[in-house]
Amino acid sequence: MKEAYVTATRPTGAHSVYLTLELADSEASFTGQPGHHTVVSKPESEHGRQSAMPYSVMKLGPTRIMLLVRGYEDGNVSAWINDRVPGDTVSVRTDLSGNLTLQSADRPAVFMASGTGITPMVGLLDQYLEGGGSDATVILGDKRQETLLGTELLEFLGTDSAVDIEYVLSRESWAGREGYAQEHLSEIFDEIDDSRDYYICGVPPMVNGTKDLLAGHDVSEEAIITEGWE
């Protein structure tokens, strides 16, 4: 673990914050890919509760990373992270890891997320577009409009005509899509097949529900890249 300064924080959504961290040691650097995660550690553990948690990076530079963390009011690490202010220090793992690695910018891609699962998807989408990707669909599910996360950066990347963004809300009646994200795949695509890569991240019921649906359409395992959490 290495020490990093909090250089910027910006509250967003309900109890969530964008956080930029810069490594204190000028000789140190981050290694890994967009879509991968670091681990953030609290200085001391409280009442034996785990004091280090993984967080995906939204943006990754040699000595800086940007995180998006949803704070649970009584959460051990997440609430502590939400209370950080610029100038504070945190401990982070510099060797990022994870399953979510961009496979190809040459194929159409679907970035499917629920809740904070949008964090690695923003990094992957950014990399996909930088690599010349021309057909990306982002499907983001959450409970209500006010709990949707990462939409500022998503809308920014979505100005590229290669990107289509679909929001799905499960607990709010609104003009857009309602229900769970995976329930809309068949409506969004004429055919669910192997012609695109499917990146999936979020709560296990969404990740597993989507995997089952894709398997039912004979999509090969190589085209399905997943990570589940919470």
Ligand X SMILES: Cc1cc2nc3c(=O)[nH]c(=O)nc-3n(C[C@H](O)[C@H](O)[C@H](O)COP(=O)(O)OP(=O)(O)OC[C@H]3O[C@@H](n4cnc5c(N)ncnc54)[C@H](O)[C@@H]3O)c2cc1C
Residues that bind ligand X (CB under 6 A): 37, 49, 53-56, 68-70, 72, 74-78, 98, 116, 119, 227, 229-230
In the complex with ligand X, the residue whose CB is nearer, 153 or 192, is 153
In the complex with ligand X, the residue whose CB is nearer, 179 or 205, is 205
In the complex with ligand X, the residue whose CB is nearer, 80 or 167, is 80
Least gap, CB of 38 to ligand X (angstroms): 9
Which residues contact residue 7 at a Cβ distance below 8 angstroms, ignoring those fewer than 6 apart?
20, 21, 22, 64, 86
Tokens of 76: 């051990």
Least gap, CB of 10 to ligand X (angstroms): 14
In the complex with ligand X, the residue whose CB is nearer, 76 or 127, is 76
Give 145's DSSP letter: G
In a 3-state reduction of DSSP, which class is residue 123?
helix
Least gap, CB of 16 to ligand X (angstroms): 7
Least gap, CB of 74 to ligand X (angstroms): 4
- HEC states along 81-119? HHCCCCCCEEEECCECECCCCCCCCCCCEEEEEEHHHHH
Residue nearest to ligand X (CB): 75
Q: Which element (helix H / strand E) includes 38?
A: strand 37-41
